[in-house]
């Protein structure tokens, strides 16, 4: 650079430094734009393209959506997503809250308990799903153990029952995620103003009542946050089901992510797989849009109250 341009460059530098916060975000923003917007649009286009074995950008119409919605497996998978999602999120919240409350009783060895309940998050489902399959299976697991102990009529065969198998998936999902809910709820409990609780105790409220009426309501934003994180887990659920039931008996426990992967990669129907992925995005939007509206509304409320 020529010396004479130095003042101008300095000016530019100063102006740029005013933009630092925005500039800092540029790389992430670009990456997120490509990752979120471009990838989604690409998938959308592929879903109405003529792609089969490999992506092919030529327009092919909406036939794949029609075919998708005529497939029994997909309909079961989509229904499972909503049923599984609801039970999994509610179950994890309830169990997680219970565990958090138990740990909150100034128990001894708090960190040991906490670690035990958190560890499922640290191990991949490929591993734990398989073990749970052994446990649930009537011939290798609980039923066999009970029979061996002399209780011959003991029966526990949910995993082989097409009406109950999904609940096995829900149970294992809750086992995996409730630790996360516990950690967040526990964090919330610890942030509650203790004066509130003392006041309730002085009023003679029982412990259960104190939690129900005073403590838990004050940390409800945490429940919303946990719900959103868990819902995205639910929608992405793949390896849990693959390891546990492989979508069976029959197609009873299939979930959308499995269908997408199968169509796109196993069967070479990339267009139909993309159509299925778009339907997952639609399900996501059903969850996310209300959440976004809510959080923007909350932001505005917050601004108003803080001045």
Site for other proteins in 146-165 (CB under 8 A): 157, 159-162, 165
Asked if 60 touches other proteins (CB under 8 A), the answer is: no
Query: Tokens 């997503």 sit at which residue?
Result: 81
Asked if 81 touches other proteins (CB under 8 A), the answer is: no
Asked if 190 touches other proteins (CB under 8 A), the answer is: yes
What residues contact 11, with CB distance under 8 A and at least 6 apart?
none
CB 48 within 8 A of CB 64: yes
Asked if 293 touches other proteins (CB under 8 A), the answer is: no
CA-based R_g, the chain, Å = 26
Asked if 92 touches other proteins (CB under 8 A), the answer is: no
Q: Applying CB under 8 A, which part among 5-13, 77-85, 86-94, 177-185 lies near other proteins?
A: 177-185
Question: What are the backbone dihedrals phi and psi of residue 149, each rounded to the nearest 5 degrees, phi first?
Answer: -80, -5
C-alpha–C-alpha distance, residues 306 and 84, integer Å: 40
Binder of other proteins out of 54, 58, 149, 152 (CB under 8 A): 54
C-alpha–C-alpha distance, residues 178 and 186, integer Å: 12
Asked if 227 touches other proteins (CB under 8 A), the answer is: no
Binder of other proteins out of 21, 152, 153, 304 (CB under 8 A): 21
Straight-line distance from the first to the last Cα atom of the chain, in angstroms, rounded to the nearest whole number? 48
Burial class of 109 by CB neighbour count within 10 A (0 to 12, 13 to 18, 19+): exposed
Q: Applying CB under 8 A, which part among 2-10, 84-92, 262-270 lies near other proteins?
A: 262-270
Tokens of 77: 């998978």
Site size toward other proteins, by CB under 8 A: 134
Q: Which is nearer to other proteins, 4 or 70 (CB)?
A: 70
Torsion of the alpha carbons at 176, 238, 251 and 76, rounded to the nearest 10: 90
Binder of other proteins out of 45, 156, 167, 261 (CB under 8 A): 261
Q: Applying CB under 8 A, which part among 2-10, 80-88, 284-292 lies near other proteins?
A: 284-292
Q: Which is nearer to other proteins, 138 or 173 (CB)?
A: 138
Instruction: Taking the CA atoms of 251, 254, 257 and 258 in sequence, report the sign of the dihedral they define.
Output: negative
Binder of other proteins out of 216, 230, 234, 257 (CB under 8 A): 257
CB 126 within 8 A of CB 241: no
Q: Which is nearer to other proteins, 33 or 151 (CB)?
A: 33
Binder of other proteins out of 8, 94, 207, 293 (CB under 8 A): 207
Tokens of 239: 């390896």
- The interface with other proteins within residues 23-42 (CB under 8 A) comprises 24-25, 27-29, 31-40, 42
Binder of other proteins out of 1, 2, 4, 22 (CB under 8 A): 22
- Angle separating helix axes 63-70 and 72-103, nearest 10 degrees: 70
Asked if 187 touches other proteins (CB under 8 A), the answer is: yes
Asked if 230 touches other proteins (CB under 8 A), the answer is: no
Q: Which is nearer to other proteins, 3 or 305 (CB)?
A: 305
C-alpha–C-alpha distance, residues 241 and 169, integer Å: 7
């Amino acid at each position: 650079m020529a010396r004479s341009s130095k003042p101008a460059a300095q000016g530019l530098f100063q102006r740029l430094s005013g933009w630092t916060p925005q500039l800092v975000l540029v790389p992430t923003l670009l990456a997120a734009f490509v990752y979120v917007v471009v990838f989604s649009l690409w998938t959308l286009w592929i879903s109405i393209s003529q792609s089969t074995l490999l992506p092919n950008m030529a327009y092919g119409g909406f036939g794949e959506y029609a075919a998708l919605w005529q497939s029994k497996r997909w309909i079961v998978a989509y229904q499972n997503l909503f049923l599984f999602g609801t039970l999994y999120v509610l179950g994890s919240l309830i169990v997680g809250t219970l565990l958090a409350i138990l740990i909150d009783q100034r128990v001894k060895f708090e960190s040991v308990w906490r670690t035990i309940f958190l560890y499922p998050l640290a191990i991949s489902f490929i591993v734990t799903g398989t073990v749970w399959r052994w446990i649930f299976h009537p011939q290798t697991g609980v039923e066999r153990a009970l029979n061996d102990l002399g209780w011959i009529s003991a029966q526990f065969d949910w995993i082989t029952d097409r009406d109950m198998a999904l609940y096995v998936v829900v149970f294992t999902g809750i086992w995996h995620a409730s630790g996360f809910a516990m950690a967040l709820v526990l964090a919330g409990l610890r942030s509650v103003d203790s004066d509130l609780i003392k006041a309730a105790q002085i009023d003679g409220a029982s412990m259960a009542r104190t939690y129900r009426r005073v403590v838990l309501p004050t940390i409800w934003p945490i429940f919303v946050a946990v719900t959103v994180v868990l819902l995205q887990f639910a929608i992405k659920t793949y390896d849990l089901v693959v390891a546990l039931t492989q979508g069976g008996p029959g197609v009873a426990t299939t979930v959308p992510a499995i269908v997408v992967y199968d169509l796109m990669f196993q069967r070479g129907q990339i267009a139909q797989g993309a159509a299925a992925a778009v339907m997952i995005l639609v399900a996501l939007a059903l969850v996310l849009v209300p959440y976004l509206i809510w959080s923007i509304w909350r932001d505005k409320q917050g601004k108003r109250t803080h001045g």
